[in-house]
Amino acid sequence: MTQITAMRVNDPRSFGKVGLLVGGDSAEREVSLNGGKAVLAALQRKQVETELFDGSAALFEAIRAGRVDRVFNLVHGPGGEDGTIQGALQLMGIPITGTGLLGSALSMDKVRSKWVWQRRRICTPPFKLLEPGDELPEKAVEQWGMPLFVKPAGLGSSIGISRVSDAREIPAAISLARQYSEDVIVEPEIRGSEYFAGIVGDIALPLIRIETPREFYDYTAKYESDDTQYFCPCGLPEDVEADMQARALAAFHSLDCSGWGRVDFIMDHAGKAWFLEVNTTPGMTDHSLVPQAAAQIGIDFDELVWRILESSL
C-alpha cells in the first residue's frame, strides 16, 4: 500500500512568485500547452502567485525583472526535459521543479540511459544505436526477428516512433525518426503488458496498465484516442506490484532523477520486467497517467500540482 507523506508547506506564499514554463519549440509543444492550462488553473485555485510563460526567452526576461522566484517546468522534450533549462536556471539561482541538469540530460538520451541501466543490471530491451549515416545491419534483423521498434534517441510522447513488421519498412522508419533526432535506436518488440509507474517525491504511485487497439501506445493513443483503456488498480498481485514499484523507483534514481516523473516498463508473458524509459516531465493533460495514478491514493489534481511545485523547494 502506497504511503502518502505530509506536504512540506501549506502556505502558498512559501513559493513566492512562480513562473509556469510551457510550450517550447519541440515536437511535444501542443502537449505542453494543453497541460499548462490545467496546471495554471490548479495553481490559481491554490492561490499560488503564478505567471505563464511560453518559452524560455520570455521567462528569462521576467527573471531579470524580478518577477519570478522559482519555475514550474512543463516543457517536454528538447529545451525543457534535456537539462538545458535546468542548467540555465541553476546559473541564475532560480529553483525549478523536478530533476536537475544531469538527470534530465541523461534520462532524455535513450541510449545513455539504457547504458546506465545495463551497467546497473536493470533489465532493458537490447538495442542497436544508429548514428548519422548508419544503416541497420541485417544480422540484427536475423537475431531479433520482427516486429522491431525504431525510435528517435532523444524525444518523448512516442513522436517519431515506428513499429516495423516488414524489413522493407525499416529505411522509412529510420528516416522518420531522424526527423526528430540525429541518433536513432532500434530494438526488438517485447511482447507483454505495458505498465507505468508515476513518481512523486520518493513515492512510486500505483501502477497503471494500459490497453490500446492501436499497434502500440503511440501519440494518438496517449493524447487523442478515447479507445485507450487504463487499469488502476493494474491487476497485479499486491506483492508483485509493490516489488515493481520499488524497482521502478530504483530505475528512476539510477539516472539521478528526482522530484517527480514516470517510469515505463513492459512485463513479458514470463513475468519479467523490461524497463523502457524515464520521463522527467510527464504530461499533465486529462489523458495523462500521473494524475490518474495519484487519484488512486487520494491525491487530486490540485494537490498533485502543489506536491510537484514542492520539489523546487
Q: Which positions are annotated as active-site residues?
A: 28, 157, 223, 262, 264, 277, 279, 283
Task: Return the C-alpha cell found at 281.
Answer: 516531465
Q: Which 3 state secondary structure label does DSSP give 106? A: helix
Residue 51 pairs with which residues in a beta bridge? Answer: 19
Q: Give the span between the Cα atoms of 308 and 313, in whole angstroms.
A: 10
- Rounded to the nearest 10 degrees, what angle do helices 101-108 and 84-92 cross at? 170
- Rounded to the nearest 10 degrees, what angle do helices 84-92 and 56-64 cross at? 10
CA 229 to chain CA centroid, Å, is 19
Q: Is the peptide bond before 147 cis (omega within 30 degrees of 0)?
A: yes
Between the two ends of the chain, the Cα-to-Cα distance in Å is 27
Pairing of strands 184-188, 203-204: unpaired
Q: Sign of torsion, CA 52 55 58 63?
A: positive
Nearest by Cα to 217 from 276, 158, 169 = 158
DSSP string for residues in 129-170:
EE-TT----HHHHHHH-S-EEEEETT--TTTT-EEE-SGGGH
Place of cell 515505463: 264
Q: Which 3 state secondary structure label does DSSP give 83? A: coil
Element containing residue 72 per DSSP (H, E):
strand 70-73
Q: What angle do CA 46, 49, 51 make, to 5 degrees?
A: 115
